[in-house]
Structure 1
Amino acid sequence: MEIRQHDHLVFFGDSITEWGRDKNNPESLGNGYVSLVVADILEHHPDLKLQFFNRGIGGNKVQDLVDRVEDCLSCQPDALVLMVGINDVWHLVGKDGFASLAEQKRFETTYRKLLQTLKDAGIDRILLMEPYVLDYPEDRIEWRRDLDPKIQIVRHLAREFKLELIPLDGLMNEQALRSGRRELTGEDGVHPTLAGAMVIAQEILKRLTFVY
């Protein structure tokens, strides 16, 4: 994804994006992957004079991002990093509809609405990150029945909207084989440790092209 001079780069998502940001301070970037990405850009590309915004909120599902899309658009984004979906799985575990065809259709329809709203607002530089989970604790393996179809939906929508995609589920699980699952996501298989945040940040940075 191209990053150009004076761009506003917005990170939009759930708790993985929010990670410690002060929601009372619109300039707060938090302490997670967002801050790592921004620190690297500021070190290597200070002359681009970019502005950065973290608009992640813990617990958000895709419908929540649709409902608060103005929170994102108010930052006047030129480029957007977007990740959502794991809470659509997590909050449905043990409930009716988990892994159902109706649930996957709902997710696809809502995610498509989100992307269409962003596109209609003139944002065509969007980097999608698919949701992920690691298989620790072991009950997370059951989540895959609902998560895997959602990952395929995100990939399908990336093709449909001609957007760039980070296949984060595969990449995080690959790294977990090398360094260990708890080292990347602690005790819940989802929320990244600092090491996990670094993996996410590095994958984002690999896909950014800076244009002067």
Structure 2
Amino acid sequence: MSFSLDRRSFFQGSVVAAGLAAGGAIRAEETSQPASTPLLGQGTRILFQGDSITDAGRKKGGPAEPNDQSALGGGYAFLAAANMLTQFPEADLQIYNRGISGNKVYQLAERWQADCLDLEPDVLSILIGVNDIWHHLNGQYDGTVETYRTDYHALMERTKEALPNVKIVVCEPFVLKTGAVDAKWFPKFDGFRAAAKEIADQYANVWVPFQSMFDEAVKLAPPATWARDGVHPTGDGAALMAHAWVTAVSAA
């Protein structure tokens, strides 16, 4: 079978499903926060938050209009939004992206009021963590995995206090072993993944295991196919992320 057919099979779900299963919790009941109602209901307001992987070159500034292609960026958040808006055209979904390149957890907290709480999302998706280790490794940040865990807990407590009914999607931080990602990232990076899973178990309705998904993807094609620098997804990588995100959230 040619690579193109294999990749099509991957995108249609066979290998993605295997990756999600390998990662464990992909449904709401597999976290400690059961979902009593479907996450994607009529008029649901969805907010994507995170760093450059979520930002993906989105347009910043201007009015907070939902479903604006330029404001959703060019990455997995836009692709997931396009998927949902196409699948559920009558649901009146309101989708926003407030990812900012370079952010670590404490920087999310600094802008959380305006970029999260004031938007009053029904579903909040967070992907954060790669800068918390990357900037530590390059000497630009002195935070540790304990800093990450503590800051993330505090952010979730603040969110739940302000928005008690919000449904939370925690995405697994990931890297691929290529480009900027070398042996010095490990095993430290695994601690950040584990801390994110702890947060998901305590606060989230959905856990999206991106690292497990990409671990399956590299069995099909080299790591640079999915993220050339090991951190920022290519178009192929972003498409897989969007597929995995929608699959996990739709199952909740």
The two structures have a TM-score, normalised by structure 1, of: 0.90
Specify which of 55, 58, 65 is matched with residue 101 of structure 2: 58
Aligned to 2:233: 192
Determine the structure 2 residue equivalent to 1:208. 249
CA–CA separation in structure 2 for the residues paired with 1:195 and 1:170: 16
The equivalences for 1:21-60 within 5 A come to: 21-25=58-62, 26-27=64-65, 28-60=71-103
Cα deviation 1:121-167 (Å, max 9, x = unaligned): 22431111011110003752321232111111111121122532111
Q: Give the match for residue 47 of structure 2.
A: 10
**Residue 170 (structure 1) aligns with:** 212
Identity %: 32
User: Would the aligned equivalents of 2:53 and 2:232 in 1 still touch at CA under 8 Å?
Assistant: yes
Is 2:45 aligned against 1:19? Answer: no
**Cα distance change on mapping 1:193 and 1:65 into 2, 3 Å:** same
1 or 2 for the larger relative contact order (CA 8 Å, sep ≥6)?
Answer: 2
Q: What secondary structure, in the 3-state scheme, does the structure 1 residue paired with 2:59 have?
A: coil
The more displaced of 169-178 and 132-141 is: 132-141
1:136-147 alignment runs, 5 A limit:
136-137=178-179, 139-147=181-189
* 1:159 has 2:201 as partner: yes
**CA-to-aligned-CA distance 1:4-51 (integer Å, 9 cap, x gap):** 111110000000000010112444111111111111111110111011
Q: Kindly provide the amino acid, as one letter, of the partner of residue 36 in structure 1.
A: L
| Equivalence for 2:172 | 130
Q: Which has the higher strand share?
A: 1
Deviations 1:72-110 (A, max 9, x none): 122220101110000001101154997xxx822211110
Extract unaligned runs of 5+ from structure 2: 1-27, 29-38, 66-70
1:169-202 per-position Cα deviation (integer Å, ceiling 9, x unaligned): 121122122122111101x100001000001100
Gaps of 5+ in 1: none
1:190 and 1:162 map into 2 onto residues whose CA distance is: 24
TM-score by length of 2: 0.76
Amino acid at match of 1:56: G
CA offset at residue 120 of structure 1?
1.1
Residue 130 of structure 1 aligns to which amino acid in structure 2? E
Residues 134 and 140 in structure 1, CA contact (< 8 A), matched pair in contact too: no
Structure 1 segment 34-113 matched on structure 2, within 5 A: 34-70=77-113, 71-95=115-139, 103-113=144-154
- The alignment partner of 1:10 has SS state of strand
Q: Does the 8 A contact of 2:121 with 2:166 survive in 1?
A: no
Determine the C-alpha separation between the residues in 2 that align with 1:53 and 1:19: 13
User: Retained in 2: the 8 A contact 1:6–1:51?
Assistant: yes
Counterparts of 1:209 and 1:76 in 2: how far apart (Å)?
21
